[in-house]
Amino acid sequence: MKERMAVTRRPTRGMTRKPGVLSTFPLDNLVTEVHRLLGPTWALPPYNNILPSYLREPSSRLTKEDLDFLVLKGALDIPDPGFAREILKGYIRHIHPHIPFLNLELFSRAIFDDQHDSQGSISLLLYQAVMFAGAIFVDLKFLYAAGFLSRRHALETLFQRVRALYDFDVEDDNLIVIQSLLLMTYWYEDPDRHKDGRHWISVCISLACKTGLHLDHTEEPKPDHKLRNMLWWSVFTRDRLIALGLQQPPVIKDEVHSPIPMLTLENLDITTQKYAKACYGINERNLARIFLEKVKLCRCVKDDLYSWDCQPIHHNIPTIAPKPRQTSLWLSKLELDDWLQDLPETISFRPKPFLPAHNADLIFHSHCAWLKMVYLEIYSTIHRQLDFLSEKYSPSQPLSLDGPECPILRAAVEITLILQDLYQKQLIYYLPTTSVAMILRAGIIHIQEMFSGDPHVGAASFRRLSQCILALQQLGRRYGSAFFLATLLGAPKGSSVITCSPDEILAHVDIESLDKLTVSYAESSVSTILKIREPYDRDIISGLKSRKVERAGGDCGQNGSGTGSSLKCDSSPDDPFEIRDLDFADYSLK
């Protein structure tokens, strides 16, 4: 039984059922006990006048006091029709392709056409969860028109509605609760509380396993067989991507061998709903292919990808089974190489020098870019781990010394090229929350390369770092933590990064705060949901601290000033790392 929040008792309808007559407490509690055992004897007046007819009423197990409290919390407040339509558009465009479990036909008929097949066809809990998730991608003007002061204010308000409904067990169908919990994992905006996306995906997976969602029912198919399969793979991919962003092991362990068969294009419900087709255009089947490929890609994320229980081989500290770990990482790399080789050309990302003519093409382009970014992040993480375990591990050495084909540097370059393409098309805003961590890690690599001493490499790294900062600043309009991380990477206050020199950027890089994001600072005062857990990145930051101290000390010795020496940067047409419009095949990872 979930813990109920204590509230001061207020005047309510008593046994007379007349609003003007106060509760006849303590006798009125006898009525409450009867309702608790047998259910209310009336159909939730006046709440049935609040909810649209297409929404199901809350569970009959709720008491009147529970419902009163939900009204007080605003959990039964429904967005007006115009606002709800904008939210559902954002959901269809930017949430549904990532986790395509929702019955879009049912929601679209109710919200766009104001039609419904029967009374109470949509769960109140799931409806509020969709409103919360879709609002992430709604234009600010609609949020302001709805009375919200900011996007953060809107998301917090909408999320608290979903959470209140979940806490009070308003939904009896476990599959609907799982869907709602999956959407609740998009809540990341409160770093001071432990119930973030990682918490909600853990609860979601626990309920999914309890419900038997991970079991194969093909021999005795249930009526909701297709939904159960789609929902399981949506939960699986969401778990893997959250683990990738937070640098933590996934909740679903490798030993949990789900017998559910791999999805095929025929398994997916390619909707013919007119509003979905208006959003996706001719790209419906390709968006479905992106989800299928993302499932395959997420299967390359193993438990030990974020297992840092062993030291580099050359350290004098006893190692813990480095060889089996290396073998596992190499196997993951081979799987990743096979995935890239088999990726259909129709969904392979290519930078476009022109703007697609239709919004549907822009949406498709952004999803292709995101799939490529996920691949690059997994690829980079595997190589970071292999580098960390190698005998030649040297985090203080610039990666450019290994040449332009260094896997870790190449992945950071490719991510920056994707960001540049999306920035030019104003699509940065539509990247998911996990992209914030990816950009941060690419930015750290670029900062390290700015200290390489090679003016050509320094100039290219400066341009890439500037692109990462611009991307984080744009994402900050949706995800508050991105603004903060942009300042750590050197975003100057009161001026544009575009007009800054490399020296000015380096002077603003907050190495101390980056260091406090590492797990070595358990009680860090830095408020953000992101932590730098990977030893590879932590060692780079430690090296940057030393270099910054040496650089400042060298200047003090020369001119008595600690402002920092001038960073030599030169732009050359022969620069192998320069960001320019190139065929993406030139940067394909082998």
Could you read off the pLDDT of 226-258 as tens digits, one per residue?
889 899 999 999 999 999 988 888 999 876 666
Q: 458: buried, middle or exposed (CB in 10 Å: 19+, 13-18, 0-12)?
A: buried
List the domain range (segments joined by +) for residue 458.
Answer: 290-587
pTM over 0.75: yes
**Close Cβ partners of 225 (under 8 Å, ≥ 6 residues apart):** 217, 218
Domain total of the chain: 1
Whether the Cβ atoms of residue 35 and residue 65 lie closer than 8 Å to each other: no
**Could you report the per-residue pLDDT of 12-31, keeping only the tens digit for each?**
444 344 444 444 445 544 54
Contact 533, 248 (CB under 8 A): yes
pLDDT for the residue numbered 276: 72
Is residue 196 assigned to a domain? no
User: Residue 101 falls within a domain, yes or no?
Assistant: no
**321: phi > 0 → left, psi -120 to 50 → alpha, else beta; which?**
left
DSSP 573: T
User: Which ranges of the chain have pLDDT less than 50?
Assistant: 1-25, 28-29, 31-32, 35-36, 39-46, 192, 310-322, 522-527, 556-566, 568, 571-590
Q: How far, rounded to the nearest angstrom, does the alpha carbon of residue 394 sit from its chain's CA centroid?
A: 31
DSSP for 198-239, written as a single string: HHHHHHHHHHHHHTTTTS--SSS--TTHHHHHHHHHHHHHHH
- Nearest CA among 25, 485, 319, 496 for reference residue 10: 25
Residues 6+ apart with CB under 8 A from 373: 415, 418, 431, 435, 438
| Helix %, strand %, coil % of the chain (to 5) | 55, 0, 45
Averaged pLDDT score across all residues of the chain: 79
pLDDT value at position 163? Answer: 96
Residue 7 has a pLDDT of 37
Answer whether residue 375 is part of any domain.
yes
pLDDT of residue 214: 86
Please report the pLDDT score of residue 571 as a whole number. 42
Question: Does 188 reside within a domain?
Answer: no
Among candidate residues 238, 78, 224, the one with its CA nearest the CA of residue 157: 78
- Would residue 477 count as lying in a domain? yes
Residue that is written with structure tokens 């700015």 in the block: 450
Q: Which long-range contacts (CB under 8 A, 24 or more apart) does 478-484 make?
A: 478/136, 478/137, 478/151, 478/429, 479/188, 479/189, 479/433, 479/436, 480/152, 480/189, 481/188, 481/189, 481/191, 481/436, 481/528, 481/529, 481/530, 482/436, 482/439, 484/527, 484/528
Specify the pLDDT at position 175: 96
The separation between CA 135 and the C-alpha centre of its own chain, rounded to angstroms, equals 14
